[in-house]
A and B are shown apart, each in its own frame.
Chain A
Amino acid sequence: MLGKTAGGLYWMFRNLERAENTARLIEAGFRIALTRSTDPASDWRSVIVTSAQQAAYEAKCQTYQSTQVTEFLLRDPSNPSSVMSLIKNARDNARLTRTAITSEVWGAVNETWMRLCDQLSAPVPDTELPKVLASIRRQSALVRGALHGTMLRNDVYDFCRLGTFLERADNTARIVDVKYHALLPSPSFVGSKMDNVQWETLLRSVSGHRAFRWGSDGEYNAANIANFLILDRRMPRSLGYCADNLVDNLTYICDQYGQETESLERAHAIDSRLRGRDIHEIFDEGLHEFLSTTLIHLGELGLQIEKDYRFFQ
Chain B
Amino acid sequence: MYFCEMTAGDGVRGPYADYDAWFAQQDNARLAQKSREAEAFFRQTGITFNVYGDKDAEERLIPFDLVPRILSGREWDKLSRGVDQRVRALNAFLHDIYNRQEILRAGIVPIDLIAQNDAYLPQMMDFVPPGGVYTHIVGTDLVRTGEDDFFVLEDNARTPSGVSYMLENRETMLQMFPELFSKQKVKRVSDYPKNLRASLEASAPPNCKGRPCVAVLTPGIHNSAYFEHSFLADQMGVQLVEGHDLRIVDGHIAMRTTRGFKVIDVLYRRVDDDFLDPLTFHPDSMLGVPGIMDVYRAGNITIANAPGTGVADDKAIYSYMPDIVEFYTGEKAILKNVETFRCSEPDSLKYTLDNLKDLVVKEVHGSGGYGMLVGPAASKAELAAFADKLRANPANYIAQPTLSLSTVPIFTEAGLAPRHVDLRPFALVSPEQVNIVPGGLTRVAMTEGSLVVNSSQGGGTKDTWVLED
Interface residues of A (CB under 8 A from B): 1-6, 92, 95-96, 98-99, 103, 106-107, 110-111, 114, 155, 253, 257, 259, 309-310, 313
Contacts and interface: CB of A to CB of B under 8 A. Distances in A.
Interface stretch (B236-244, B311-319, B356-364): B236-244
A4 B245 contact: yes
Is the contact region of chain B dominated by helix, strand, or loop, or is it mixed? Answer: mixed
Is the contact region of chain A dominated by helix, strand, or loop, or is it mixed? Answer: helix
Interface stretch (B38-46, B408-416, B458-466): B38-46
Contact of B256 (A2, A98, A111, A259): A2
Nearest to B244: A4
B257 A114 contact: no
Nearest to B242: A4
9 contacts: A2-B245, A2-B255, A2-B256, A4-B256, A96-B221, A99-B239, A103-B45, A110-B46, A253-B258
Interface centre among B230, B242, B259 (most CB of A within 10 A): B259
B257 A3 contact: yes
Interface in B244-274: 244-245, 255-260
Given A257-B258, A310-B256, 17 more contacts: A2-B241, A3-B256, A3-B257, A4-B242, A4-B244, A4-B245, A95-B221, A95-B230, A98-B240, A99-B230, A99-B239, A106-B45, A110-B44, A114-B43, A114-B44, A310-B257, A313-B256
B398 interface: no
Interface residues of B, number: 21
A3 B245 contact: yes
A61 to B, nearest CB: 28
Contacts of A6: 258
Contacts of B226: 95
B46 A106 contact: yes
B326 interface: no
Contacts of B260: 310
Nearest to A101: B234
B441 interface: no
Contacts, number: 56
A249 to B, nearest CB: 13
Contacts of A313: 256
B245 to A, nearest CB: 5
Contacts of B133: none
Given A2-B255, A2-B258, A310-B256, A99 B233 contact: yes
Contacts of B241: 2
A3 B46 CA distance: 24
Given A2-B256, A3-B257, A310-B257, A98 B44 contact: no
Nearest to B215: A2
A92 B222 CA distance: 9
Nearest to B46: A110
A245 B259 CA distance: 22
